[in-house]
Structures are given as C-alpha cells and as structure tokens.
Amino acid sequence: MKIIIKILRLITTFIGVTLLSFVLIHYSNIDPAEAYARRNYVRVTNSQIKEIRKKFGYDKPMAEQYFKYIKRLLKGDMGISFRTNNPVFKDIKNTLPSTLILVLTSAIWIALFSICFGTLSALKKNTLLDIIIGFITMIGISLPTFWLGYILLLYFAVKFPLFKVVDYGTVKSLILPSLTFAIPIASSFIRIIRGDLIKELNTDYIIYAKARGIKGFTLLWYVLVNILPPIISLFFQNLGFMLGGSAIIESVFSWPGFGSYFISSILEKDLPAISGCLIVITVLFIFFNSLALLLNKKLNPRII
C-alpha cells in the first residue's frame, strides 16, 4: 500500500510539473507561432503566423493542446526545436549524457570530500586540523562557481599547463569542471556532517556503546548510519540542482552539454525545447529523490 501511495505521488508530481510548465509557457508573452516564423522566414507576415498557428495546433483551446501534448509526450515526442529544426528528444539525447557524466563525477568528489573531511573534522574537534578544515570550507562555500572555474583554468591550464583550456571527451577533461562543481557543495556538506557527527557522538546510546567496548570503525559506522539519511536526501536533491544549473560550468569550460542547450533555448525563445528540458529535469529530480529514498531504506529499514 505504501509503495502504491509513493508511486501515485510521483505520478502526481510529474503531471503537476507538466501542467504548470505548460500553463506558464502558454500565458507567457512569447507567441510560439511568431517565434517559429521569425526563425524560419526572412519576412514574416500575419498570414504566415496564422498558418503556423493552425499547423501546430496553437489555435486550439489550451486544455485540448495540453492533452495532445501529454499524448505526444508519452510516445517520446517532445516536438520540433525552433532553433535546430531537430526533434527535441534527439537534441536532449545528444546533450544530456555529457552533463550527466559531469554531474556524476562531481557527485563522487562530493561524497569523498564530505565523508572524509567531515568525519576527520568531527573526530579532531577544536584542534588545528579542525580549524584549518573549517576555514577552507568557509572559503569553499563562499566561492561563486564561475569564478572558481576561471581560477582553476588560470592556474592549472594557463600558468601550469597540466590541463587544456578547452578539452572534452577524456577522463582528464572531467577533472577541472567536476571539481568546480563539487568544491562549493562539498564544503557545505563537510560542515553538516561535522556538526551532526559531533552531536551524535554525545548521545546516550553512543556512550553506552563505548562502555560495552565498541569503538573504532564499528562505532563510527553506527553513527554514520544514523546521521546519513537526511544528508543523502539533500545530496541527491543537489544532483538535480546541479543538472539544472550546469550551464555556468559548461560555459566556463566550453563543455557541450544539456545546461548550455537549455539556456540557449531560453534565449532563443525555443518553447518546445524549453518544455522538453523542464520535463527531463523533472523526471531526473523524481529519479534522484526515489533513489535517495531507496538508499535510506536500505541503511535504516525503519524509514517509511
């Protein structure tokens, strides 16, 4: 029963997002027929706009348009991009994998940095090492990602040419952009894990466990299992935000990805592409949240 309720919530969320995005686009000051005409004709006339509006069904009532849109969407048809004249699904299929690779590589950095340095900082509370980690993480949290990206390029691609300024398609090309993505988020997670660990280490059950002789990694594992569920949820939510906000990193590192495609679509008033990108981001958000729920359930079966 609980699984059915959760599935219904996911379906409701998806329908809600598609409806909201459709209504907002429908009531925006952008006429999709006019936008399409200006992209494909040198001289645009009212008769051409009316013809395009009739061809794509923009003259139909909004409810009818929405149900036709959902029907096409269920078949994998997101429409034709005004900007590229390609199916939106094809454009997204070509751009999304590179961004997903970038985001997942950043996620690995975030997990490694957060758990290692957050745990170390908590275990070495109020020592010089804790102070240094705290100082570095405060700087990391404060850094704008675009500025951090330019600094990394300046020092590691220009002054010390360990990497190329423009590079794509190799494992090495992932390092600088993924670190740029990871450092601010990891800095925040390090502070969260440190605070939660310190608080958890002072609870009664930990004092009792120590009295029974449980210590070292075994004790640390029990503590981590108890503090990780909310952190895991936040972590997977950040993956969704990273996907939607990847355009900044991609522009700094000339990375051909989904974020750049999304921003270009917005600037060019490419409504089918904008709608398709919103759908993809929604689906991935739902997927990441579901994954977080399953992982938390595995760590702690008491979680509903």
Whether 221 and 143 have beta carbons less than 8 Å apart is answered as: no
Query: How many angstroms separate the first and last alpha carbons of the chain?
Result: 12
Is this structure's pTM higher than 0.85?
Answer: no
Residue 291 and residue 225 in one domain: yes
For range 291-302, the mean pLDDT: 79
Reported as a single tens digit per residue, the pLDDT across 168-204 is: 878 888 899 999 999 999 999 999 999 989 888 888 8
Proportion of the chain in helix, strand, coil states, percent, rounded to 5: 80, 0, 20
Q: How far apart are CA 58 and CA 60, in angstroms?
A: 5
Burial category of 119 from C-beta neighbours within 10 Å (exposed 0-12, middle 13-18, buried 19 and up): middle
Contacts of 238 (CB under 8 A, 6+ apart): 110, 185
Question: So what's the pLDDT on residue 2?
Answer: 66
- Tell me whether residue 39 is in a domain: yes
Residue 112 and residue 247 in one domain: yes
- The yes-or-no verdict on residue 301 having pLDDT over 80 is no
- Tell me whether residue 88 is in a domain: no
Question: So what's the pLDDT on residue 116?
Answer: 92
- Tell me whether residue 90 is in a domain: no
Residue 176 and residue 262 in one domain: yes
Q: How far apart are CA 24 and CA 34, in angstroms?
A: 17
Reported as a single tens digit per residue, the pLDDT across 94-108 is: 999 999 999 999 999
Residue 110 and residue 227 in one domain: yes
Q: How many CB atoms lie under 10 A from the CB of residue 198?
A: 15
Residue 34 and residue 122 in one domain: no
Report which of 95, 73, 56 is spatially closest to residue 275, judged by C-alpha positions. 73
Which amino acid makes up residue 264? S
Q: How far apart are CA 249 and CA 181, in angstroms?
A: 7
Reported as a single tens digit per residue, the pLDDT across 97-150 is: 999 999 999 999 999 999 999 999 988 888 999 999 999 999 999 988 889 998
Residue 20 and residue 135 in one domain: no
Whether 194 and 224 have beta carbons less than 8 Å apart is answered as: no
Reported as a single tens digit per residue, the pLDDT across 207-249 is: 778 778 777 778 888 788 888 888 988 899 888 888 878 888 8
Residue 106 and residue 248 in one domain: yes
Whether 176 and 250 have beta carbons less than 8 Å apart is answered as: no
Higher pLDDT, 41 or 112: 112
Residue 53 and residue 103 in one domain: no
Domain endpoint, select from 75, 109, 128: 75
Residue 37 and residue 103 in one domain: no
- Tell me whether residue 155 is in a domain: yes
Burial 259-283 (b: 16+ CB within 10 A, else e): bbbbbebeebbbbbbbbbbbbbbbe
Which structural domain range is residue 27 located in? 1-75
Local confidence band at 1 (pLDDT 50, 70, 90 cut-offs): low
For range 68-88, the mean pLDDT: 84
Residue 62 and residue 120 in one domain: no
Burial category of 55 from C-beta neighbours within 10 Å (exposed 0-12, middle 13-18, buried 19 and up): exposed
Residue 39 and residue 182 in one domain: no
What's the number of domains the chain is made of? 2
Measured in degrees and rounded to the nearest 5, phi and psi for residue 134 equal -60, -40
- Tell me whether residue 91 is in a domain: no
Reported as a single tens digit per residue, the pLDDT across 46-68 is: 887 888 778 777 777 878 888 88
Measured in degrees and rounded to the nearest 5, phi and psi for residue 13 equal -60, -45
For range 149-177, the mean pLDDT: 87
Question: So what's the pLDDT on residue 137?
Answer: 94
